[in-house]
């Protein structure tokens, strides 16, 4: 119940943030503007619109998660409002989980609205979307949850700017971890190879949530793939939130 109260408050606070509306505006503008690129693509306008729509949902969703997420705990400390919360009979982990849930709710609304805008726009322009498009949007949301959990963890550990830089770097590297297991033959038998392969399993592999190509080309997605990707994201997010709760327990506020 206390977690829900914090989540509700976080959601209301984030909804009032002007940054949110600026980002949603740019995301919607990207979706509407995608038609212009389609005109010069030899009959691939719908494919390009779907690609850009999913990219806009992913990129602007991540920016929202980073800008809002890394500020979540720090803002409460900076404005000293955290003392009025922590002096109540509330465990610190409840505060962290509530904050994260509030942001997850906000992201759910943002992803839902942007997906609906993209779907209606594609429909109005004569395109038809397959279930892969909606599954791609679902996996993007799951990726955003993982990024949010990382942002909340860093919010409890570092300053917002440093946290934002680390989360953004993790976002880029998280899409490139496959390189660690596809090493050239020069790495065979070296310690570096073992270290990089270990890193592959430690770092979040965000490319598992990326099925935009399949969605844009109408390629069917195996339900078991989606289930495994959701399971992977859920476990990783839960681990990051546990670490965030532990980090906040030890924080001197």
Partner 1 sequence: MRGRKAIVALLVVSASLSLTALSQRRLDAMRTAAFDEELLYLPNEHLLDHFTAGLSGVVADVLWLKCIQYTSTHFRGDFKFTWLDHMCTMITRLDPYFVDVYRYGGIFLAALKADDDASIRLLKSGIPPNPDRWELPYEIAMVHMVNRRDQPGAAEAAAAYLKLAVATGTAPENVAHVAAGLQRKNKLTDMERAMWTDMAQHHADKFMRDLASRKLALLDMRLACEELEQAAEAYAARTGSPPRSLRDITDNAERIDPLGGTFFLDSTGRVQNTSLLNESVDRALGQLRNAVRLYRKDAGSWPGSLDDLVSRQIMTAIPKHPYEDKSWRYDPATGEIVP
Token digits for 203? 């770092």
Q: Which stretch binds partner 1 (CB under 8 A): 14-22, 81-89, 206-214, 227-235?
A: 206-214
Q: Judged by CB, which is closer to partner 1: 15, or 176?
A: 176
Whether residue 245 contacts residue 94, with contact meaning beta carbons closer than 8 Å, is answered with no
Whether residue 164 contacts residue 70, with contact meaning beta carbons closer than 8 Å, is answered with yes
Token digits for 172? 């880029």
Contact string 126-145 vs partner 1 (x = CB under 8 A): --x-x------------x--
In the 3-class helix/strand/coil scheme, how is 68-93 assigned residue by residue? HHCCHHHHHHHCCHHHHHHCCCCCHH
Q: Judged by CB, which is closer to partner 1: 42, or 124?
A: 42
Q: Judged by CB, which is closer to partner 1: 97, or 145?
A: 145
Least distance CB 167 / partner 1 (angstroms): 13
Residues 141-200 that bind partner 1 (CB under 8 A): 143, 171-172, 175-176, 178-179, 182
Tell me: does residue 44 bind partner 1 (CB under 8 A).
yes
The Cα–Cα gap between 148 and 70 comes to 8
Identified binder of partner 1 from the candidate list 147, 216, 226, 240, rule CB under 8 A? 216
Least distance CB 177 / partner 1 (angstroms): 8
Least distance CB 105 / partner 1 (angstroms): 23
Q: Which stretch binds partner 1 (CB under 8 A): 43-51, 86-94, 191-199, 245-253?
A: 43-51
Those residues with Cβ within 8 angstroms of residue 24's Cβ, 6 or more apart along the chain or in another chain:
60, 110, 113, 114
Tell me: does residue 48 bind partner 1 (CB under 8 A).
yes
The Cα–Cα gap between 125 and 119 comes to 10
CA dist 227 → 130, 223, 224 (Å): 18, 6, 5
Q: Please, what sign has the CA dihedral across residues 75, 81, 83, 84?
A: negative
The Cα–Cα gap between 154 and 151 comes to 5
Kindly provide the b/e burial profile for residues 206-230, where b requires at least 16 CB atoms within 10 angstroms of the residue's own CB.
Answer: bebbbbbebbbeeeebeeeebeebb
Q: Which stretch binds partner 1 (CB under 8 A): 6-14, 15-23, 188-196, 207-215?
A: 207-215
Least distance CB 194 / partner 1 (angstroms): 20
Size of the site for partner 1 (CB under 8 A): 35
Q: Which stretch binds partner 1 (CB under 8 A): 78-86, 104-112, 187-195, 204-212?
A: 204-212
Alpha helices, H only, 158-222: 160-174, 191-202, 212-216
Residues that bind partner 1 (CB under 8 A): 37, 40-44, 47-48, 51-52, 54-55, 58-59, 128, 130, 143, 171-172, 175-176, 178-179, 182, 206-207, 209-210, 212-214, 216-219
């Amino acid at each position: 119940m206390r977690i829900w109260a914090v989540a509700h408050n976080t959601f209301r606070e984030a909804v009032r943030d002007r940054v949110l509306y600026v980002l949603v505006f740019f995301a919607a503008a990207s979706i509407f503007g995608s038609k212009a690129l389609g005109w010069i693509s030899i009959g691939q306008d719908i494919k390009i619109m779907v690609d850009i729509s999913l990219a806009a949902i992913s990129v602007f969703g991540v920016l929202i998660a980073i800008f809002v997420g890394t500020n979540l705990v720090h803002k409460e400390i900076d404005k000293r409002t955290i003392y009025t919360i922590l002096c109540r009979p509330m465990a610190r982990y409840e505060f962290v989980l509530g904050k994260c849930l509030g942001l997850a709710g906000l992201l759910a609304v943002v992803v839902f609205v942007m997906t609906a805008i993209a779907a209606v726009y594609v429909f109005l322009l004569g395109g038809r979307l397959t279930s892969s498009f909606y599954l791609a949007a679902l996996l993007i949301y799951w990726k955003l949850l993982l990024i949010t959990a990382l942002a909340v963890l860093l919010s409890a550990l570092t300053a917002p700017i440093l946290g934002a830089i680390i989360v953004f770097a993790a976002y880029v590297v998280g899409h490139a971890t496959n390189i660690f297991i596809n090493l050239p033959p020069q790495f065979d038998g070296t310690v570096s190879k073992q270290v990089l392969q270990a890193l592959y399993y430690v770092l979040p592999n965000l490319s598992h949530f990326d099925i935009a190509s399949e969605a844009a080309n109408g390629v069917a997605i195996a339900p078991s793939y989606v289930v495994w990707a959701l399971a992977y994201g859920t476990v990783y997010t839960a681990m990051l939130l546990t670490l965030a709760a532990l980090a906040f327990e030890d924080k001197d506020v």
